[in-house]
Amino acid sequence: MSHSTSMRRVAAISVSALAALALTGPAALACPPEPTLRSETPRDLKIGSAVWGQRDLLDHDRKNGGEFQRILGAEFNSLTPENDMKWAEVHPEPDVYDFSGADAVVAFAKAHRQEVRGHTLLWHSQNPQWVIDAAADWTCEEARDVLEDHVRTVVGRYAGEIYEWDVANEIFQDDWDEGGVRLRTEANPFLKACAEDPVALLGDVFRWAHEADPEAVLFLNDYNAEGINAKTDAYYELAQELLADGAPLHGFGAQGHLSLQYGFDESIQENFERFADLGLKVAVTEADVRMPLGEDGEPDAEQIALQAERYDKMLQACLDVPACTSYTVWGFDDGRSWVPGVFPEGYATIMTEEFEKKPAYHALLESLTEATPGRSPRTPPGLNR
C-alpha cells in the first residue's frame, strides 16, 4: 500500500469517526420534532381543517396570518375551502367565475403536500343574488342547465386535485313540528324547480360531477347526521335509491357541528357502519363543539372536558370504521370560527384565538397516536418547529 493511499484511508476513517462523534453531540441529544395531528394520523385517514382561502391565505394583513398558516401546514394533511367553493364566492354572476380563493387553497395544499375536500356543489344557502332572483321563474330544465354548467365548470377545473367532494349539502330539512324530515324543495332553488322529481336531479348532479372528475369520491353531507335518527334514516333510503339507479354516489358525511346544550348520540359508529355496508365511504366533515359561555366569555372546567370527550368520540367512531376516510375540524382556532357569528355560543374549536392547544386537541392527538395501522408521512421539514 502506498503512503498516499494509506493517508487517504486514515483521512476517511477520521472523517467517519468525526461524523460518529457528531451524532453523540448536542444535535443528537436534541428533542425530536413535537408530534402533530398530521404526524400521528394513520396512513388510511385524512385529518383536515377548513380554511377560507380569500381571508386566511390571500389577506396577508390579517392578524397572526403567518402563524396560522404554519400551524395549518403542520397539523393537517387535508384542507376544505370553508367558503371559497360555495356558489356566492365562486360563481357570483351568471357568466362569471371567481376561483381566486379556491385556487389559493389548492395551491397551499400542493405546497404542503395536503389533499383537498371540495365543498359544496348543491346547497340551499350562500347562493348569489342572481340565482335567488332567477330561480323564481325557472323551469326544471332551466335550473338543470344552470346547475350542470356550474358543476362541470367547478369540478372540471380541479379534476385530479380534489379527493372528495361534498356534492349535495343539507338537502333534508329537519321538520320538528311533524317529527320527521323532508327534502328542501322550498329552500333549495334547484330542488324547488325540479320538485316533481328531485331525486332524479340529485342523481344527475352526481353524474355530472363524476364525469368532470372520475377520480373524486362524491358525498352526501349534512348536520344532525351523526347518529341514527329520522334524518339519517332518510339519507339511508335516499342512498339506496340513488345507488339502485346507478348514480355515482360514493360517500356519506356527518358534519359534526355539536353543542353542549344537547346530548351526544352514541349511535354514530353504528350509523357509519350501515352506510359502509352499502359500499359507501363515510367521514366527519365539519367538526366543532360549541357551548354557552358565562358573562366573562369563558367556559368552565366541566365544559372543557366534555368538549374534548365529544371531539374524541367522533374521531373514535371514524377510527373504528374502516370506511371512514377523513376527519375534518371546521377551523382549528376560535379567532376564525364561524360559531359566534351564528349562535350565542363559542369556544368551539380545538385551539384558542392565540393558538393555545385545548384539551380537545390533546384528546385527538392521543387517539391518533394510539390508532393503527401505521403513521402518515411526517410533515414537510420546518413546518412543525
CA 237 to chain centre: 25
Looking at residue 32, its pLDDT comes to 72
Is the separation of the CB atoms in 214 and 161 below 8 Å?
no
What confidence tens digit (pLDDT) does each residue in 17-52 have? 333 333 444 444 566 789 999 999 998 999 999 999
Phi, psi of 350 (to 5 degrees): -95, 0
Is the separation of the CB atoms in 53 and 81 below 8 Å?
yes
pLDDT (mean) for 283-312: 97
Q: Is 289 helix (H, G, I), strand (E, B) or coil?
A: strand
pLDDT band at 60 (very low <50, low <70, confident <90, very high): low
Q: Where are the alpha helices (DSSP H) in the chain?
A: 3-23, 26-29, 37-40, 65-75, 87-90, 100-111, 129-135, 140-157, 189-193, 198-212, 230-244, 268-277, 301-319, 359-370
Looking at residue 61, its pLDDT comes to 56
What confidence tens digit (pLDDT) does each residue in 91-110 have? 999 999 999 999 999 999 99
Q: Would you tell me the crossing angle of helices 140-157 and 198-212 to the nearest 10 degrees?
A: 30
Q: Which three cell numbers stand for residue 213?
A: 372528475
Greater confidence, 359 or 4? 359
CA 78 to chain centre: 7
Looking at residue 59, its pLDDT comes to 75
Instruction: Give percent of the chain above pLDDT 70.
Output: 86
Cα–Cα distance, 40 to 86 (Å, whole number): 31
Q: Which three cell numbers stand for residue 368?
A: 391518533
Cα–Cα distance, 96 to 110 (Å, whole number): 26
Q: Is 373 helix (H, G, I), strand (E, B) or coil?
A: coil
Highest mean pLDDT among 1-10, 51-60, 62-71, 294-303: 294-303
* Residues forming beta bridges with residue 281, ordered by sequence position: 251
Ranking 30-34, 188-192, 245-249, 305-309 by mean pLDDT, the lowest is 30-34
Looking at residue 11, its pLDDT comes to 37
Domains and CATH numbers, the chain: 35-370 (3.20.20.80)
Greater confidence, 195 or 385? 195
Q: State the catalytic residues.
A: 170, 286
pLDDT (mean) for 51-65: 80
Q: Is the peptide bond before 373 cis (omega within 30 degrees of 0)?
A: yes
Q: Which residue shows C-alpha cell 353531507?
A: 221
Q: Average pLDDT, whole number, for the chain?
A: 89
Residue 87 above 50 pLDDT? yes
Looking at residue 269, its pLDDT comes to 96
Burial pattern 94-104, b for ≥16 Cβ within 10 A else e, equals eeeeebebbbb
Query: 310: which residues sit within 8 A by CB, 6+ positions away?
Result: 258, 260, 264, 289
Longest dimension (CA), the chain: 97
What confidence tens digit (pLDDT) does each residue in 160-214 have? 999 999 999 999 998 766 657 899 999 999 999 999 999 999 999 999 999 999 9
Cα–Cα distance, 189 to 134 (Å, whole number): 9
Give 355's DSSP letter.
Answer: -
Burial class from Cβ neighbours inside 10 Å (0-12, 13-18, 19+) for residue 91 reads: buried
Taking the model in full, what pTM does it have? 0.88
Looking at residue 179, its pLDDT comes to 58
